[in-house]
């Protein structure tokens, strides 16, 4: 069964450093997402991406965040200057379409900012 | 901020019983409703989707939607210990740009 793949599974970084989280969405999916979940809290939407551009973003997704689809398979989330409060599990997801379409989540990257 | 509310639990039911999980949402124009299961330390896994009022059954799971009351529920029949997880209600619609808005989840414990 096709799945969304995320690397690395764990990332430890120092405050102020840049991190790049990587995702390979399901191959025939057209919409890509990043969500995050701080420990003990709800899953929060960060950004959606379609046709090589951001389609929606939340208030969390400020200038420190960026996304890119550098080739036909990878989808990345970059945090330019990490803060302690960026520590969370980051989930990539993809879907065939939007609106009523179902999201498939990757296994996540646990980011720890020290 | 449009909200999706769930009782955090834990909801404890004996094996073989029916577990009933509830969710309310505040955005009246929400269109799509999803139940995800999340095991501890794992990613959300879709188990049910529902788009129109009424019931939708899939195996041991039944989702119920009442748009007038802004209420969606999930029933799990013949609960098994392996059903023990956190169940996340998620809602989307035009006001969210179709991004999923999740509730905090209800923790379910099925005891043998």
Which residue on chain A is closest to B47 by alpha carbon?
A102
> Nearest Cβ partner of B97 from A55, A102, A103?
A55
pLDDT tens digits, one per residue of B2-48 = 789 999 889 999 999 999 999 999 988 888 999 999 999 999 999 99
Distance CA A88, CA A92 (A): 13
pLDDT tens digits, one per residue of B53-84 = 999 999 999 999 999 999 999 999 999 999 99
Say what the pLDDT of residue B2 is.
Answer: 73
The stretches in chain A having pLDDT less than 50 are none
CB contact under 8 A, A102 and B49: yes
Count Cα atoms within 13 angstroms, Cβ side, for B23: 29
CB contact under 8 A, B43 and A106: yes
* φ, ψ dihedrals at B96, nearest 5°: -105, 10
Distance CA A40, CA A105 (A): 18
Say what the pLDDT of residue A101 is.
Answer: 78
Distance CA A105, CA A110 (A): 14
Say what the pLDDT of residue B1 is.
Answer: 63
**Set of chain B residues whose Cβ sits within 8 Å of the Cβ of A98:** 98
Distance CA A44, CA A39 (A): 12
The number of C-beta contacts closer than 8 angstroms across A and B is: 53
Contact residues, A window 27-66, toward B, CB-based 8 Å cutoff: 33, 35, 41-45, 48, 55-56, 58
A71 to chain B, minimum CA–CA distance in Å?
Answer: 24
Say what the pLDDT of residue A71 is.
Answer: 86
């Amino acid at each position: 069964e096709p799945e969304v793949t995320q690397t690395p599974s764990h990332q430890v970084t120092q405050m102020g450093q840049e991190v790049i989280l990587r995702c390979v969405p399901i191959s025939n999916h057209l919409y890509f997402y990043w969500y995050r979940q701080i420990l003990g809290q709800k899953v929060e939407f960060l950004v959606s991406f379609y046709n090589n551009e951001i389609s929606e973003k939340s208030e969390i997704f400020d200038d420190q965040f960026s996304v890119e689809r550098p080739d036909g398979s990878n989808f990345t989330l970059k945090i330019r200057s990490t803060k302690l409060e960026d520590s969370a599990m980051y989930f990539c997801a993809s879907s065939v379409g939007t609106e009523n379409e179902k999201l498939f989540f990757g296994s996540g990257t646990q980011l720890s900012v020290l | 901020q449009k909200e999706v509310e769930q009782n955090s639990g834990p909801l404890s039911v004996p094996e073989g019983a029916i577990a009933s999980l509830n969710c309310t949402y505040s955005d009246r124009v929400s269109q799509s409703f999803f139940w995800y299961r999340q095991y501890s330390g794992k990613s959300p896994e879709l188990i049910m989707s529902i788009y129109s009022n009424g019931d939708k059954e899939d195996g041991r799971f039944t989702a119920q939607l009442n748009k007038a009351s802004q209420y969606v529920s999930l029933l799990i029949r013949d609960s098994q210990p392996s059903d023990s997880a956190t169940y996340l209600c998620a809602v989307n619609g035009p006001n969210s740009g179709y991004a999923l808005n999740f509730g905090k989840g209800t923790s379910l414990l099925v005891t043998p």
